[in-house]
Structure 1
Amino acid sequence: MPHFPVNHPARPLYRVLAGLVGLYILIFGVYGVFETWGDGLFDRGSNWALGLRTNLAFSLVSVVFGIVLMVGASRRGNLGHYMNLTAGVVFLVTGILMMAVLQTPANFLNFSMSTVLVSLAFGLILLATGLYDKVGTDEHAAEERRRREHPVSGVPSH
């Protein structure tokens, strides 16, 4: 079982960072919906929003993901922890898959290389925030620190 840091001192900063990523994705999605409204859902035209190529499907998905990330960042419990871990993996996998089909008809989200790079960067940021924003009791945090300091025996050495 992985040992995530519990009650990390920089947790508020990580939550703000995840919230800013969510806000950017939400604004990108809303702007993209306005730019691509009336086009086909999976249109492969040259529509750009905030420096990233998009289509209506990608813009709509971005609106949903932006809202989800902002909700996760605003919660004090471990919901944001799990949402950021999941979203980080989704962004990384999506970025890699879309890079693999970039110059093919399978590029149904109309990604460009800049979109791939932003997706990978956001994936890494969200994964990092998810790794450090776990919440627990003070006793749970002390137990995690003790295990990290003495991972083999579980007891302090003298």
Structure 2
Amino acid sequence: MAHFPVNHPARPLYRVFAGLVGLYIFVFGVWGVFQTWGQPLFDRGPNWALGLRTNLAFSLVSVVFGVVLMIGASRRGNLGHYMNLTAGVVFMVTSIAMMSVLQTTANFLNFSMSTVIVSMLFGLLLLATGLYDKVGTDEHAEEERRRRQHPISEAGAR
């Protein structure tokens, strides 16, 4: 069973990273909405925003996701922990799914390979921030540290 570090000392830094990812996604979405406004929702035209290809549907989803990630990064409890883990998985699955249909008509979000790579990087970053931003009481954190450093767990790792 996986054990997430509780009250990790670098947690504020990880929250900043998640917030910056959310801010980039939000700005990308707003810029993309302005670029693609008036076009069909799932248009596959040559529209680019902040270096990534987009359409109106992808831009609108990005605005919502950016806001959600910024809200999660601003919360002090475990909400951000669960939001970042979930968003990381969503980004990874979406990037792999869109990469598999990149050159077909099923590319309804108008992804390019650069969009796939950025989505995968954001997914990995959000997964990493989700792994290290769990919050708990001092007693819970100490118990987690003891469990990770117990002699039996060290013997099993060899």
| TM exceeding 0.5 | yes
Quote the residue 1:20 is aligned against: 20
Q: CA RMSD in A?
A: 1.2
Percent identical among aligned pairs is 84
**Which amino acid in structure 1 is aligned with residue 6 of structure 2?**
V
- In the TM superposition, 1:99-138 aligns within 5 A as 99-138=99-138
Quote the residue 1:72 is aligned against: 72
- Partners of 1:150 and 1:99 lie apart in 2 by 43
- Partners of 1:84 and 1:35 lie apart in 2 by 28
Quote the residue 1:85 is aligned against: 85
- SS of alignment partner, residue 120 of structure 2: helix
State the TM-score, normalizing by the size of structure 2: 0.95
TM-aligned CA deviation for residue 151 of structure 1: 6.6
Quote the residue 1:58 is aligned against: 58
Quote the residue 1:139 is aligned against: 139
- Partners of 1:23 and 1:113 lie apart in 2 by 22
**Which amino acid in structure 2 is aligned with residue 69 of structure 1?**
L
- SS of alignment partner, residue 13 of structure 2: helix
Instruction: Classify 1:73/1:153 alpha carbon distance in 2 versus 1 (closer, same or farther; 3 Å).
Output: closer
Q: How many residues align?
A: 154
TM-aligned CA deviation for residue 150 of structure 1: 1.2
State the TM-score, normalizing by the size of structure 1: 0.95
Quote the residue 1:47 is aligned against: 47
Q: Gaps (5+ residues) in structure 1?
A: none
Asked if 1:152 is matched to 2:146, the reply is: no
- SS of alignment partner, residue 7 of structure 2: coil
- SS of alignment partner, residue 5 of structure 2: coil
- Partners of 2:15 and 2:32 lie apart in 1 by 25
Q: Gaps (5+ residues) in structure 2?
A: none
- Partners of 1:2 and 1:134 lie apart in 2 by 13
Asked if 1:10 is matched to 2:18, the reply is: no
